[in-house]
Structure 1
Amino acid sequence: MAGVPPARPHGPDGERGLRCVCVLTGGWTREELEEAGAAAVYGDVRVLLRDLDGSPLA
């Protein structure tokens, strides 16, 4: 998931019991994703893959 705008009814805030891990792609800022409840926000996929064992996906 590249990002979900905070205005969406089912954003990364986990209201459906799911936590989202986001990757910045230019759609939304880190701050917007964090405010919406993202479990983690990564600058790009390489960083997520490098840190995968320590990520919320581990």
Structure 2
Amino acid sequence: MAKPLTYTNKVLIGFTDEQIASVDAWRRAQSDLPNRSEAIRRLVEKALDGGQTSN
């Protein structure tokens, strides 16, 4: 079994209940159902890439 990715930089941020619900709805629509942290990483990357990231 492959070792999972380790992220060395941790950031504590707050979300409203509505924001978490939106993140959860987005992640459930993904074919591989990422966990919440991975979903947030993907959404941030997508925003930084101008929306060009797939998934």
Instruction: Flag the structure with larger Rg.
Output: 2
- With structure 2 as the length reference, what TM-score do the two structures score? 0.23
The structure whose residues are more often helix, as a share, is: 2
TM-score, normalised to structure 1, is 0.23
Structure ranking higher on relative contact order (CA contacts 8 Å, 6+ apart): 1
